């Protein structure tokens, strides 16, 4: 299994789909799993129940996906903040899609509906990058720069790097 991690705007879903296509395997996104299990969008979960409730759903979705999925898995940006999730990632190929502030803001957009970005979007993204990057780096077995690059190029780099390890 290949697990993609990184902040919002790093391209986990898009790159994950491309990596899966190149490897002839399935792709799964735990944000989509959470929404399917809850029957509503993540932003609604945040508003109605709060971040802690969302994180509990996310933790369960990641654990289930790691136990049952055998392809490419894209995790939500904050999933690796959970120590149990970090423990479950040990032994997997974990790819950190590194993105800088400028590219993240361009990709996410300033008029975003993401619950953690309410208010000053650029400032919130910077704070999240500063807080989360060391955690991403601590669990990653491979880090790939995404700034200024096309998703196809990033997917090719991941497949080549992981193929060289096999």
pLDDT digits (tens), the chain, 166 positions: 999 999 877 899 999 999 999 999 999 999 999 999 999 998 889 889 988 999 999 999 999 999 999 999 999 989 999 999 999 999 999 999 998 777 776 756 554 455 444 556 667 778 878 899 999 999 999 999 999 999 999 999 999 999 865 4
CB-based contact 83:38 (threshold 8 Å): no
- The answer on whether 127 is annotated among ligand-binding residues is no
Q: Is 13 annotated as a binding residue?
A: yes
CA 133 to chain centre: 12
Q: Quick one: residue 50, left, alpha or beta (phi over 0 = left, psi -120 to 50 = alpha)?
A: left
- How many Å apart are CA 64 and CA 80, to the nearest integer? 15
Contact 12, 4 (CB under 8 A): yes
- Please state whether 64 falls in left (phi above 0), alpha (psi between -120 and 50) or beta: alpha
Known binding residue 124? Answer is no
> DSSP string covering the chain, please?
-EEEE--TTS-HHHHHHHHHHHHT--EEEHHHHHHHHHTS-HHHHHHHH-HHHHHHHHHHHHHHHHHH--SEEEPPTTGGGSHHHHHHHTTSEEEEEE--HHHHHHHH-TT---GGG-S-HHHHHHHHHHHHHHHHHHH-SEEEE-TT--HHHHHHHHHHHHHHH-
Q: Consult the annotation and say whether 9 binds a ligand.
A: yes
Q: 59 labelled as ligand-binding?
A: no
86 is annotated as contributing to ligand binding: no
Q: Is 28 annotated as a binding residue?
A: no
Q: What is the pLDDT of residue 103?
A: 79
Q: Is the pTM of this model over 0.85?
A: yes
For residue 68, say whether it is annotated as part of any ligand binding site. Answer: no
Does 12 carry a binding-site annotation?
Answer: yes
pLDDT of residue 43: 84
- Residue 25, marked binder: no
Give me 99's structure tokens. 């993105």
Tell whether residue 114 is among the known ligand binding residues: yes
10 assigned ligand-binding residue: yes
């Amino acid at each position: 299994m290949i697990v993609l991690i990184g902040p919002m705007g790093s391209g986990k879903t898009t790159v994950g789909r491309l990596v899966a296509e190149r490897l002839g395997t399935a792709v799964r996104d735990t944000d989509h799993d959470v929404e399917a299990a809850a029957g509503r969008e993540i932003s609604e979960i945040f508003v109605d129940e709060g971040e802690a409730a969302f994180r509990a759903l996310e933790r369960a979705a990641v654990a289930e996906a790691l136990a049952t999925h055998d392809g490419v898995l894209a995790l939500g940006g904050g999933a690796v903040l959970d120590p149990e999730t970090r423990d479950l990632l040990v032994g997997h190929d974990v790819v950190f899609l590194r993105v800088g502030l400028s590219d993240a803001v361009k990709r996410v957009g300033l008029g975003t509906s993401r619950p953690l970005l309410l208010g000053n979007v650029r400032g919130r993204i910077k704070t999240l990058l500063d807080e989360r990057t060391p955690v991403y780096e601590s669990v990653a077995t491979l880090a790939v720069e995404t700034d200024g690059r096309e998703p196809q190029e990033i997917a090719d780099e991941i497949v080549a790097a992981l193929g060289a390890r096999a």
